Amino acid sequence: MDRGSFGVEVILTYLLFKISDPRSIYLSRGNHETKNMNKIYGFEGEVKHKYDINIFNLFLELFCELPLAATIGGKVFVTHGGLSSMDDVTLGQIRSLKRGCEPPEGGLFSDLLWSDPQPFPGKMPSKRGVGYSFGPDITEKFLSANNLNLLVRSHEVKDEGYLVEHGGKCITIFSAPNYCDSMGNKGAYIHFGQDLVPKFTQFDAVTHPNIRPMAYAQGMGGLMGL
């Protein structure tokens, strides 16, 4: 929602698509769809600038109700961050997590939003300070235990817009090209056909109105850069 300065337009466009075709449009919660992250990185300031605090509070209610994960065809697991430090996590446990609240500081809920893959086996606390880094063995164990084939997640900029890791069983997909108008990365999305084989489409950034990234973020100069 809040690294760029058009988060309001992004979420309203999504909601209009959802209203138009509710059975075809889905959104899972990310680590930035929280009150604290919205305050730090600018979405709160953006909504207050364009609307008011009442509209911002409605967005917070929406974010708290978003699902934390999804499956595609019963074989592809999709979440924003990654896997948990907990052993033997099941889809049933994830399904039973209470929504309608801000994320706790740790545990399965938080791990799904914050964790990242690592190239070597095992798991360790994340350098982000929240969540965990998990290796290919952790991915394999989770997928096998839940009769899944593939983990798809986001949460990290990738030069080509995506990265396939963990022996082809973990894909990071990142759809924001030239992140923060400075990274020079491509964006990408995945299309899954009936065979559930991922097909990637890459794209470049396009020109947008001359408002710098995080123009509404607290501690970032506020609107002075507009």
* Three-state SS annotation for the chain: CCCCCCHHHHHHHHHHHHHHCCCCCCCCCCCCCCHHHHHHHCHHHHHHHHCCHHHHHHHHHHHHHCCCEEEECCCEEEECCCCCCCCCCCHHHHHCCCCCCCCCCCCHHHHHHHCEECCCCCEEECCCCCCEEECHHHHHHHHHHCCCCEEEECCCCCCCCEEEEHHHCEEEECCCCCHHHCCCCCEEEEEECCCCCEEEEEECCCCCCCCCCCCCCCCCCHHHHC
What is the arithmetic mean of pLDDT over 7-25?
Answer: 95
pTM of the model: 0.94
What is the arithmetic mean of pLDDT over 51-73?
Answer: 97
What is the arithmetic mean of pLDDT over 156-170?
Answer: 98
pLDDT at 225 (0 to 100) = 35
What is the arithmetic mean of pLDDT over 16-29?
Answer: 95
Domain map (residue ranges) of the chain: 7-225
Whether 221 shows a pLDDT value over 80: the answer reads no
Query: Right CATH number for 7-225 from 3.40.190.10, 3.30.9.10, 3.60.21.10, 3.40.30.10?
Result: 3.60.21.10
Residues annotated as catalytic are 32
Whether 41 shows a pLDDT value over 70: the answer reads yes
pLDDT at 3 (0 to 100) = 86
pLDDT at 219 (0 to 100) = 59
